[in-house]
Structure 1
Amino acid sequence: MISIRQEIADIEEGKMDSRINPLKMAPHTLMCIASSNWDRPYSRESAAFPLPFVKTESKFWPTIARIDDIYGDQH
């Protein structure tokens, strides 16, 4: 919540655009982050990993397909 408040303060102070910012454009999906077309004024890193503890070691990207169909579900 503190980091969200800081993002709001950055918008209020004019450091971030009021219409295109990480807070307003969230959530940032894996497809959005990995896309070659990044037309936003903030970095991909700040979009995907907004805080130090949310880095690649701890970020969870949900899968969209089953592993080994029924066998993977049962084991």
Structure 2
Amino acid sequence: REEIRAVENGTLDKDDNPLKNAPHTAAEIVGEWTHPYSREQAVYPLETLMDAKYWPPVGRVDNVFGDRNLICACPSIADYQDA
């Protein structure tokens, strides 16, 4: 909520902020940093993440398409019936 509030009050850029660019991958963090917010703010938005950080292998694919549209890559139910 604090990140949203920072965008609302103009502390964070509305187009280039930790929320819009999440998740930040390990590869992105060690490369050249071109964002107006700090690496620490991107990687550890909460202090509790310091001990238990999950590093996503990729950033967002197709922006938010995958977030809004569930795509199942599982075999069909029919494939399990003969097993």
TM, length-normalised to structure 1: 0.68
Matched, 1:59 2:53: yes
- In 1, Cα distance between equivalents of 2:8 and 2:56: 33
Higher Rg of the two aligned structures: 2
Q: Distance in 2 between matches of 1:62 and 1:8?
A: 22
The one-character-per-residue Cα deviations of 1:5-48 (angstroms, maximum 9, x if unpaired) are 2111111101110000000011100000111x100001111111
Normalised by the length of structure 2, the TM-score is: 0.62
Measured on the aligned residues, the alpha-carbon RMSD in Å equals 1.6
> Residue 21 of structure 2 corresponds to which residue in structure 1?
25
Give the total of aligned pairs.
Answer: 57
**1:1-75 equivalence runs, <5 A:** 5-35=1-31, 37-55=32-50, 57-61=51-55
Structure 1: 5+ residue runs without aligned partners?
A: 64-75
Partner of 2:63: none
Amino acid at match of 1:60: Y
Structure 2: 5+ residue runs without aligned partners?
58-83
Q: Is the 8 A contact 2:23 2:56 kept in 1?
A: no
2:18–2:37 CA contact under 8 A, matched in 1 = yes
CA distance in 1 between partners of 2:52 and 2:5 (Å): 27
Q: Distance in 2 between matches of 1:19 and 1:62?
A: 22
Q: Which stretches of structure 1, 4 residues or more, deviate above 2 A after TM superposition?
A: 60-63
